[in-house]
């Protein structure tokens, strides 16, 4: 299947994808702040530079995009063009995420992963309510990563 955009337009679109301060991250941060949680953003001293760090609760939150972190949901579809590049890129992201999570857990941090698809309008309120409960009660959210063995 051919790309629907010219290389110039595709490059422009890709340049607009942000690694920090994305809309899903902003939604989570605003909700947490409104519920009285105080946090730090993008702490570079911690493995993986977590999106949100709640030191008081010894908890970090990653707000992950379903495509970039290979979430097992309907939003993740292997690209049909340049498959070798994308497979290496995405599986590399997943492996890096697993390493960072292991390092954080070894250091005594609790990890919560909020997926982009969980923040859709129909699910967002419930997911954010559960997030606050997870933080307060110390629940460990399953990262939602699979082994990456499925084929493109």
Domain residue limits, the chain:
72-145
**DSSP class per residue in 88-100:** HHHHHHHHHHHHH
Place of tokens 């993008």: 42
pLDDT of amino acid 138 = 77
CATH superfamily for 72-145 is VSR Endonuclease (3.40.960.10)
**Whether residue 8 has pLDDT greater than 50:** yes
pLDDT of amino acid 10 = 59
pTM, full prediction: 0.80
What is the spatial distance between Cα 62 and Cα 46, in angstroms, rounded to a whole number? Answer: 12
- Give 1's pLDDT tier (boundaries 50, 70, 90): very low
Higher pLDDT, 42 or 19: 42
């Amino acid at each position: 299947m051919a790309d629907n955009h010219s290389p110039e337009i595709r490059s422009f679109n890709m340049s607009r994808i942000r690694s920090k301060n994305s809309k899903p991250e902003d939604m989570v941060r605003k909700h947490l702040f409104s519920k009285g949680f105080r946090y730090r953003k993008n702490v570079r001293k911690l493995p993986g530079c977590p999106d949100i760090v709640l030191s008081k609760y010894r908890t970090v939150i990653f707000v992950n995009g379903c495509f970039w972190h290979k979430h097992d949901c309907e939003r993740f579809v292997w690209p049909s063009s340049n498959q070798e590049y994308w497979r290496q890129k995405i599986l590399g992201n997943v492996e890096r995420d697993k390493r960072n999570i292991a390092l954080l857990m070894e250091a005594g941090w609790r990890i919560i992963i909020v997926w982009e698809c969980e923040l859709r309008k129909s699910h967002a309120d419930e997911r954010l309510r559960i997030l606050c409960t997870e933080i307060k009660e110390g629940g460990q959210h399953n990262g939602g990563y699979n082994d990456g063995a499925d084929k493109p």
